[in-house]
Amino acid sequence: MVVVINDDRVSDVEAYLPVAKAFAADAAAHDPGCISMEVLVDPAVPGRVLYLSHFESEEAFKAHAAGATFQKHLPELGKYFISAEDTILNVIE
């Protein structure tokens, strides 16, 4: 299992959050290998939104990132997007 931390910077957090939450719920419900996805905000850093996700494997995450759910939500997410950085961590079991 992997944990993925996607660290986004967005132009309007309040407008972005409903779109981000819909995307996260859709991914967790429909993307193979996506175990969970949460949306977090950092009150200390304006414009910072994080996705904390659990995937069965790094390959499942990569398939999610290239898949239909991401493409479906990209037009709305993209309106506010400035930058992103992914960190992929292996869970030690």
Domains in the chain, number:
1
pLDDT attached to residue 52: 98
Residue 79 main-chain phi, psi, to 5 deg: -60, -30
67 burial type by CB count under 10 A (0-12 exposed, 13-18 middle, 19+ buried):
middle
pLDDT tens per residue, range 16-68? 999 999 999 999 999 999 999 999 999 999 999 999 999 999 999 999 999 99
Q: Any idea what the CATH number is for the domain that residue 79 is in?
A: 3.30.70.100
Do 84 and 9 meet the contact criterion of CB atoms below 8 Å apart? yes
pLDDT tens per residue, range 9-29? 999 999 999 999 999 999 999
Q: Which domain holds residue 51?
A: 2-90
pLDDT at 93 > cutoff 90: no
